[in-house]
Chain A
């Protein structure tokens, strides 16, 4: 158990809908990262927050947004969902920005 908690574990929704994925980092970790993993792709970095502030942005679509709250948990919002958004979404946390990151068990999103 990495100490990073993601909910829900599975999510099935229809095209055009909006969903929210939730992540609680390890106790004491200030950085939260979001990654997307599709079948044929590696882990694609989406966005990073550090102590409530956005620190880095990767290949995140405009339909996607995220935030980190004062209690350090984070949410990833995915809207106007398309079939191609079906993937595993992982949250990871670390103490700072250059140390090892610990991953949650992921949310498997299926868009039908």
Chain B
């Protein structure tokens, strides 16, 4: 069974204070690891897909990296509008659905 654990559960940062969110996963044959952003009461918004260890993707202040057992979402010089819950999900071999972690709630204080 695929499993995803995200840490920390919540993170408060001052504006401009860089940090990283962690996603540890257990999966039988990784097909893909996905990062989403979710605002309260809204649907998750797709950010990145990573397929193999060593891969990196960037978008504005966000950078996602992948190893064989975990992924990191690095946030550089965050702004208040980056406040949201960040979700990590995996898709494993023989499984067609995405298995999600419980997310990290990020708050960026001006």
Residues of A within 8 A of B (CB): 2, 4, 31, 33, 35, 41-43, 45, 48, 50, 55-56, 58, 88, 90, 92, 97-106, 108
Please give me the residue from chain B that is nearest to A44 by CB atom.
B100
Residues of B within 8 A of A (CB): 31-32, 34, 36, 41-46, 49, 87, 89, 91, 95-103
A-B pair number, CB within 8 angstroms: 63
Please give me the residue from chain B that is nearest to A47 by CB atom.
B97
Given that A50-B96, A97-B96 are contacting pairs, would A103 and B43 also be in contact in the complex, using a CB cutoff of 8 Å? yes
Given that A43-B87, A98-B31, A98-B32 are contacting pairs, would A56 and B96 also be in contact in the complex, using a CB cutoff of 8 Å? yes
A41, A99, A105: which contacts B32 (Cβ < 8 A)? A99
Given that A43-B44, A105-B43 are contacting pairs, would A99 and B102 also be in contact in the complex, using a CB cutoff of 8 Å? no
